[in-house]
């Protein structure tokens, strides 16, 4: 029967399971063993971008919806976390020298004398956690609903999301008294009384981050392997056909956009925790489009590729901008052009077309000793 193979649904067992185990081993075992705490903290920071990249694989790679505003959600998630940490760091005892003790320092510097109402919920950790997920997702819902219900897509959607990212940055920078302005929220010290600046805290946060990322990857793999995943591909290809097969296309796009936003928000919150500050430079046009390149370098169709892409590009960025700052923009620009023109499927594409075909041969070469020791000799191949 020719149909027996197709009857088995695409699941995330098999190749994806191996890839998942390899990645988990890498970030849970290899990195912590091989790197000192300073480097490990850097890797943790890179991995927060992997959250965004994984979201982009679903949204852009599968769904064909290019968002140039993922920094919005990364930033909102990060700011929600930073606001909680800032309030905790601004206890009346810590801020006794201010003219209004008990409010964040930047408010005091800007003659704000009372905590604004929308800051108040961030005194509570549970509420802050809810806000981290809810605020960016709700915002994504508003943008997504407004655009997708009216069939705005493609280049238009990309430009609008970019404009929103620009607006949010200008707003945050402009409203210094409420947001910390261009410097952002700095000097974040403790989480529920636990000093997050110590080496042991950084190590624990790294693992929390890693486990969250693996969880997000599992969700993404589930979505990809479900019918929803195939619908995303179908919508990217022939949107009208999907619509005239009885699907309300807009809802699916909104969902995947919100999901990507929620992923980014978790990344942003973990960024604020691990790095100890949050600023508008992680929100605007430039960081948002860089996040797309993490995804593109890794391979826009590969969830695992996106993680490696985020790691590699950020590692390269740190190395380059430390030693040859003037070359970094050239390298980055070249990367954009190369990945689009020569390697549209990124590292994952190269892996699939060049490395994977070699694997069986490699395996064969590695196997002979085992065969020799086996009692039954394999027939000549």
Partner 1 sequence: MIGDYTYDQFFSILAMQGFAGLVLFSVFVLMALGLAIIFGQMGVINMAHGEFMILGAYVTWGTGLFVTNFAPALFPIYFFVAMALAFCASFTLGVFVEWAMIRHLYKRPLDTLLATWGLSLILQQTYRSVFGAREVGVTLPDWMMGSLPLTDIIEVPINGLFVMALTTLIAIAVALLMYKSRWGKQVRAVTQNRIMAGAVGINTKMVDRMTFGLGCGIAGVAGSAFTMIGSTGPTAGQLYIVDTFLVVVFGGAGSLIGTIASAFAISQAQSTMEFFLSGSMAKVLTLLTVVGILMLRPQGLFTLKIRR
Partner 2 sequence: MTFDTETAPKDFLLAVEGLTVSFDGFKAVNDLSFYVDENEIRVIIGPNGAGKTTVLDLICGRTRATSGSIRFRGKELTTMKEHQIVHAGVGRKFQNPSIYEDLTVFENLELSFPRGKTVWGSLAFRRDREVIDRVEEIAEMIFLKDHLDTEAAILSHGQKQWLEIGMLLIQKPDLLMLDEPVAGMSVAERVKTAELLNTIIKQHSVIVIEHDMKFVEDIAHRVTVLHQGKVLSEGSMDHVQHDPKVVEVYLGH
Catalog residues that contact partner 2 under the rule CB under 8 A: 2-3, 5-7, 9, 222-223, 226-228, 230-231, 233-234, 236-238, 240-249, 251-252, 255
Show the CA angle centred on residue 327, arms to residues 275 and 297, nearest 5°: 65
Contact 267, 80 (CB under 8 A): no
Task: Select from partner 1, partner 2, none the partner in contact with residue 337, using the beta carbon and a kind-dependent cut-off of 5 to 8 Å.
Answer: partner 1
Phi first, then psi: what are they for 8, rounded to 5°? -80, 115
Paired residues of 191 in beta bridges: 194
Check binding of 316 to partner 1 (CB under 8 A).
Answer: no
Task: Select from partner 2, partner 1, none the partner in contact with residue 244, using the beta carbon and a kind-dependent cut-off of 5 to 8 Å.
Answer: partner 2
**Spatial distance between the Cα atoms of 55 and 61, rounded to a whole number of angstroms:** 9
The position carrying tokens 């549209």 is: 344
Task: Output the smallest distance, CB 74 to partner 1, in A.
Answer: 18
Task: Select from partner 2, partner 1, none the partner in contact with residue 92, using the beta carbon and a kind-dependent cut-off of 5 to 8 Å.
Answer: none
Check binding of 241 to partner 1 (CB under 8 A).
Answer: no
Contact 48, 271 (CB under 8 A): yes
Please report the sign of the dihedral spanned by the C-alpha atoms of residue 75, residue 287, residue 44, residue 181: negative
Check binding of 359 to partner 1 (CB under 8 A).
Answer: no
Task: Select from partner 2, partner 1, none the partner in contact with residue 13, using the beta carbon and a kind-dependent cut-off of 5 to 8 Å.
Answer: none
Within residues 170-209, the interface with partner 1 by CB under 8 A covers 170-171, 173-174
Contact 285, 166 (CB under 8 A): yes
Check binding of 76 to partner 1 (CB under 8 A).
Answer: no
Q: How many C-beta atoms surround the C-beta of residue 73 within 10 A?
A: 34
Residues in the chain: 381
Residues 281-300: x/- map of binding to partner 1 (CB under 8 A)? ----xx--x--xx--x----
The position carrying tokens 């490395």 is: 355
Check binding of 167 to partner 1 (CB under 8 A).
Answer: yes
Task: Select from partner 1, partner 2, none the partner in contact with residue 243, using the beta carbon and a kind-dependent cut-off of 5 to 8 Å.
Answer: partner 2
Residue selected from 27, 43, 68, 273 as contacting partner 1 according to rule CB under 8 A:
68
262: which DSSP letter? H
Nearer to partner 1, 157 or 255 (CB): 157
**Count residues contacting partner 1 (CB under 8 A)?**
42
CA atoms within 13 A on the CB side of 177: 9
Applying CB under 8 A, the span of 51-59, 148-156, 209-217, 246-254 interacting with partner 1 comes to 148-156
């Amino acid at each position: 029967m020719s149909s027996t193979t197709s009857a088995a649904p695409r699941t995330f067992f098999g190749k994806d399971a191996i890839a998942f185990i390899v990645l988990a081993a890498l970030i849970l075992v290899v990195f912590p063993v091989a790197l000192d705490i300073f480097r490990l903290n850097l890797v943790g920071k890179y991995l927060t971008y992997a959250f965004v990249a994984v979201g982009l694989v679903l949204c852009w790679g599968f769904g064909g919806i290019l968002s140039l505003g993922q920094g919005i959600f990364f930033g909102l998630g990060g700011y929600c976390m930073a606001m909680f940490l800032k309030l905790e760091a601004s206890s009346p005892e810590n801020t006794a020298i201010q003219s209004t003790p008990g409010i964040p320092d930047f408010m005091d510097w800007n003659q704000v004398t009372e905590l604004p109402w929308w800051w108040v919920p961030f005194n509570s950790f549970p509420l802050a956690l809810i806000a981290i997920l809810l605020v960016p997702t709700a915002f994504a819902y508003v943008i997504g609903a407004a655009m997708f219900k009216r069939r705005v897509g493609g280049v238009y959607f990309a430009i609008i999301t970019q404009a929103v990212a620009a607006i949010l940055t200008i707003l945050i920078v402009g409203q210094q008294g409420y947001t910390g302005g261009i410097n952002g929220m700095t000097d974040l010290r403790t989480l529920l009384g636990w000093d997050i600046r110590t080496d042991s805290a950084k190590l624990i946060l790294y693992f929390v981050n890693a486990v969250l990322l693996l969880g997000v990857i599992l969700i993404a793999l589930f979505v990809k392997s479900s019918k929803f995943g195939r619908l995303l591909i179908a919508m990217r290809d022939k949107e009208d056909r999907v619509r005239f097969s009885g699907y309300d296309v807009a809802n699916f796009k909104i969902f995947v956009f919100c999901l990507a936003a929620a992923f980014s928000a978790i990344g942003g919150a973990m960024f604020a925790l691990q790095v100890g500050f949050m600023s508008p430079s992680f929100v605007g046009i430039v960081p948002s489009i860089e996040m797309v390149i993490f995804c593109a370098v890794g391979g826009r169709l590969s969830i695992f590729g996106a993680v490696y892409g985020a790691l590699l590009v950020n590692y390269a960025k740190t190395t380059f901008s430390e030693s040859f700052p003037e070359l970094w923009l050239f390298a980055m620009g070249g990367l954009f052009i190369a990945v689009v023109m020569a390697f549209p499927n990124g590292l994952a594409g190269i892996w699939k077309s060049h490395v994977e075909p070699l694997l069986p041969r490699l395996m064969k070469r590695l196997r002979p000793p085992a065969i020799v020791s086996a009692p039954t000799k394999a027939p000549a191949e």
